[in-house]
Amino acid sequence: MGVAVSAESKPEFIPNGPIPQHVGIIMDGNGRWAQARGLPRTMGHRAGTKNIRRILEESVRLGIKVLTVYAFSTENWGRPRAEVNHLMRLISQSIRDELDELDANGVQIRHSGRLEGISPRLREQIEYALERTRNNDTIILNVAFNYGGRAEIVDAIKEIIRKGYKPEDVTEELVSQHLYTAGLPDPDLIIRTGGEYRLSNFLTWQAAYAEYYATPTYWPDFDEAELRAAIAEFQHRERRFGLVKS
Ligand code: FPP
């Protein structure tokens, strides 16, 4: 007995259609990408780092204004020490190798996360990269590093209390203004590679109305066509923000 399986219909990318202003990416699957090739996990992170550049360039071509990448979560400190050290070295190396070109291409680098806990040398490098690119406006590359969505909300609350706000002054707007992402638009689209369906403490507050897109593709293989496919899906969704269809 045959079972008719309709070819999965994938929405078409609409060249003049809506483009998300802010895209967040959970870059999962580096380790599995490497293991599938008989390579150490660290090679997966290396390939994943290279891929940020490919997706950043395509984001500029598409007109995306903010790209947030989840590079290191507060939970990632629990990984084997050698892997943590490797990730730290990769970030440091990327700043050293890529900063001139990113700056020349008008990329503004932002950091979302806690600076405490990061080595003083890397901290200095990050602060320098932020300062040097702060007036660039082609695209914002927001790196979520030593980032946790809940920690971010806790940090915002502490800051609000420290400044002496009264309970009646506390609004959603005020909280947003005290997050690491202050001044950035909320993400319209969150992409997760690597086949899981979790937010994993990523942009917990900001993603309240984001569209989600998950793909089994491992991050190092997520290319321009995959980004367009994610945006095509976004273009065919109807965003209601809790309202009813007009
Ligand atoms: C998830 O894959 C990926 C990470 C925890 C780290 C992602 C970091 C980078 C790509 C480097 C960032 C560099 C810069 C310059 C921002 P995984 O290790 O969880 O993969 P798995 O699920 O297959 O084990």
Contact partners, residue 170, CB within 8 Å, separation at least 6: 160
The whole-number pLDDT of residue 29 equals 98
CA of 35 to the centre of ligand 1 (A): 13
Q: Residue 218 is which amino acid?
A: Y
Query: Token digits for 41?
Result: 């996990």
pLDDT given at position 246: 64
Q: What is the DSSP letter of 74?
A: G
Return the DSSP state at 136. Answer: -
**Is residue 194 within 6 Å of ligand 1 at its C-beta?**
yes
pLDDT at 1: 41
pLDDT, tens digit (0-9, with 9 covering 90-100), for 184-221: 999 999 999 999 999 999 999 999 999 999 999 999 99
Give DSSP secondary structure letters for 165-189: --GGG--HHHHHHTSTTTTSPPPSE
Q: Does 125 sit in the ligand 1 pocket, CB within 6 Å?
A: no
| pLDDT tens profile 42-97 | 999 999 999 999 999 999 999 999 999 999 999 999 999 999 999 999 999 999 99
Q: What is the pLDDT of residue 7?
A: 53
Element (H, E) at 151: helix 149-162
Q: Which atom of ligand 1 is nearest to the CA of 35?
A: 23
Residues 141/69, Cβ–Cβ less than 8 Å: yes
Taking the centre of ligand 1 as the mean of its atom positions, its distance from the CA of residue 233, in whole angstroms, is: 24
* The overall pTM is greater than 0.75: yes
Residues noted as catalytic: 28, 76
The single-letter DSSP state of residue 13 is: P
Average pLDDT, the chain: 95
Cα pseudo-dihedral 115, 78, 50, 136, rounded to 10: -20
Residue 119 and residue 190: Cα distance in Å, rounded?
29
pLDDT tens-digit map of 101-123: 999 999 999 999 999 999 999 99
Q: How far is the CA of 47 from the centre of ligand 1 (A)?
A: 9
pLDDT value at 5 more than 60? no
Nearest to 140 by CA among 183, 178, 96: 183
Mind listing the domains of the chain with CATH numbers?
Answer: 22-235 (3.40.1180.10)
- Is the predicted pLDDT of residue 8 greater than 70, yes or no? no
Ligand 1 within 6 A of CB of 92: no
Model confidence over 224-245: pLDDT tens digits? 999 999 999 999 997 777 787 7
Mean pLDDT of 11-37: 97
Around Cβ 185, how many Cβ atoms within 10 Å?
A: 13
> Of the ranges 4-13, 151-160, 189-198, which one carries the lowest mean pLDDT score?
4-13
**Is residue 71 within 6 Å of ligand 1 at its C-beta?**
yes
Q: What is the pLDDT of residue 4?
A: 47
Neighbours of 187 (CB within 10 A): 26
The answer to whether the beta carbons of residues 203 and 149 sit under 8 Å apart is yes
Q: Choose which residue among 25, 28, 97 to substitute to test ligand 1 binding: the one with the highest number of ligand atoms within 8 A of its C-beta.
A: 28
Whether 94 is in the pocket of ligand 1, judged by its Cβ within 6 Å, is: yes
